[in-house]
Structure 1
């Protein structure tokens, strides 16, 4: 029997999907893909603790229901969003802005795109019957219910293609702005780096002042071709009572490199889940993350790395700082397939607990099906060392200053992995803002 999932104001998800139907781009094959994705979601319903991958992030208990689709942003919403974009913007970056799940070219730097960089809105692709094969690829689903729901409900997003051999000089910044309250934003983007291409993409999630209770469901599909290099940085600073569930599905080609960094410092309930496949021999992954958690925030980072072929390497390093009654979840799984001989993979997770009520669940896993591999993982949780705090206080620092200095050093181990100095400084400034607000 199918699960009937309740939505806002007593609506069922069937009603939410039906109400959104006229706003969802694409007809014919695209509409059939969406319908199948929605049926897959209905069969599963909101993830709950009896699903192993969602054991620590029970959405039925944490959010209870999916809000109806956010309305199309009007002129006033775009005016207010401009202020939020300015606040989140990285200097020199080319901005591509999504407001309440809709691409806003009037707020974006479309005219600053370099030759060899092609950007289209997801809506444009889905409504073009000649792009039906591309639409099927972009709206692909997995067994994960939230990815299926995203495929069914995505209103817009970005389709970015980097030409073969193109080294993009300026970072591309995708800015998601939520302007409304008690509504859902569904976005999905597709990135393709051609052979030997290089690009840096920064994705930011922010909200207008006054926006509250909204839910974001975002997905990114990325294909990194042979010998390409892709640096992907994700910063989530949502409103204090917002929900953000984001997914990444990334395939890395032969001798290509993916540098992934994520930081979550906002929202009430947040989860980033990455599914990364090292699909070509000699590919490399560096994945790092920082979660800054306080009050009653629940923040989950779940990364599954699949070594599908031989001679690939992955390095994962994640840090969490949890204050008040916050709860951190890190789940890292490394899968080494039988053909993936000579795999070299490590995973470390560390959580820093700043109060007695703070909690952390770290779950590293290895699934090794090959013989000649070098794999390892480690996980620790603990408080600041009182000896170090006392040492610093004896040299004139207040307790708060001493703690902040030690926290900076703790976070720096992950933040220093960001390869671009300007972006590293930008992320450091965001972390510093969180520290000063404690």
Structure 2
């Protein structure tokens, strides 16, 4: 007698699998992109969403979080675009590209105004024209199945393709703003492909925000190809609504003598996860990945990253600060892989947590996989409460307790924020942190 064991699918998994097939049928894509989309849809149909039995998702049960699948967002209206333009975070001295409910906001995005050396086209237009840059899309996928990225790839349509010319010195940061404005739950899928040629210098800001009280789902993926000698700064700000699900994937390939700096400030969403995959493809490169997560109520925030040192003489630094109030739950999973030929690797990874709620939880899982013998690598994790002596010192000088706590938390997260190179952006980020701490208090 044989037993046929089948995994029961949630209605959300079934709905997303059917939506992916429907989009493939309605918008067939030929050549490599078509094969990529079909393979991703097939993989999702086979494997579905991960449970906590999958090691990479041990602390975040995505299958349980996606019991239902909201309908896919449709075309953006002029009124929604105007509303999104007013709601979008304003960063000083930047050029902005707007996405509204997952769709490119044509009227509020002036791609012709981008600084010299930078060109951008909507992903849909790039697909229609067969842009040669699309030969790189999907080329950096992680070796193991990733449900969020597979679903994003199967839904490939909305997004942006950015090209930075060789040697360009772009002084104006490019702000890619994602704003959700609908009054009912929807699902959005966006994909960014960024190709930075050799010797270029550029900064990007990626922001995500939406209203409270609406259980929408956002799936965003960004791929960076960074050429030899280039310098790239990336700032991510995640301020989704309090019932939203936010899944973000960041994949980076670094050539020789590259400097890649990324910073994330995450304060929103009911459940949020950033999955980062970085690969050193050329020697002499440096990657600095930092972030601040501010969690309250019953928020769940997950940062999972893998940095692959495949070549020698590269350096990586990771620092994440998590502040948890009430019954919130934070997750940090970080892995540094040092391949056999990656001698002289220097990698450091640290997760530090501040527990301000009696029932707050933090799960840390830093890892090293070292297959070379001439390396300097280390990792660590800490968790604790506010220092009673420092708090008493501030209180004894007449500072009200809520203000004193904000000052101490601000000092705690400030170490990560200080790595943002542009002073005006650094100040803007710290202002948003202080505002969030005041509201959560």
Using structure 1 for the length normalisation, give the TM-score.
0.94
- Tell me the SS of whatever aligns to 2:107: helix
Question: Is 1:376 the counterpart of 2:375 in the alignment?
Answer: no
Of 95-104 and 364-373, the range deviating more from structure 2: 95-104
Contact 1:7 1:68 in 2 (8 A): no
5 Å matches for 1:254-265? Answer: 254-265=256-267
Question: Is 1:74 the counterpart of 2:77 in the alignment?
Answer: yes
- Tell me the SS of whatever aligns to 1:159: strand
1:108/1:25 CA distance change after superposition, 3 Å: farther
How far, CA to CA, are the matches of 1:12 and 1:285 in structure 2?
Answer: 38
Residue 162 of structure 2: aligned partner: 160
Residue 186 of structure 1: aligned partner: 189
How far, CA to CA, are the matches of 2:347 and 2:72 in structure 1?
Answer: 41
1:167/1:211 CA distance change after superposition, 3 Å: farther
How far, CA to CA, are the matches of 1:418 and 1:135 in structure 2?
Answer: 30
How far, CA to CA, are the matches of 1:391 and 1:183 in structure 2?
Answer: 49
State the Cα distance separating 1:76 from its structure 2 match: 2.2
How far, CA to CA, are the matches of 1:315 and 1:389 in structure 2?
Answer: 30
Contact 2:305 2:334 in 1 (8 A): yes
1:348/1:38 CA distance change after superposition, 3 Å: same
5 Å matches for 1:168-183? Answer: 168-180=170-182, 181-183=184-186
How far, CA to CA, are the matches of 2:235 and 2:94 in structure 1?
Answer: 13
1:178/1:155 CA distance change after superposition, 3 Å: farther
Residue 113 of structure 2: aligned partner: 112
State the Cα distance separating 1:21 from its structure 2 match: 4.3
> Matched residue pairs, number?
432
State the Cα distance separating 1:67 from its structure 2 match: 2.6
Residue 303 of structure 1: aligned partner: 305
Residue 224 of structure 1: aligned partner: 226
How far, CA to CA, are the matches of 1:251 and 1:158 in structure 2?
Answer: 18
Using structure 2 for the length normalisation, give the TM-score.
0.94
State the Cα distance separating 1:174 from its structure 2 match: 0.4
Contact 2:232 2:259 in 1 (8 A): yes
State the Cα distance separating 1:163 from its structure 2 match: 0.4
State the Cα distance separating 1:5 from its structure 2 match: 3.7
RMSD: 1.8
Contact 1:17 1:153 in 2 (8 A): yes
1:382/1:210 CA distance change after superposition, 3 Å: closer
How far, CA to CA, are the matches of 2:384 and 2:21 in structure 1?
Answer: 48
Gaps of 5+ in 1: none
State the Cα distance separating 1:241 from its structure 2 match: 0.5
Residue 437 of structure 2: aligned partner: 435
Gaps of 5+ in 2: none
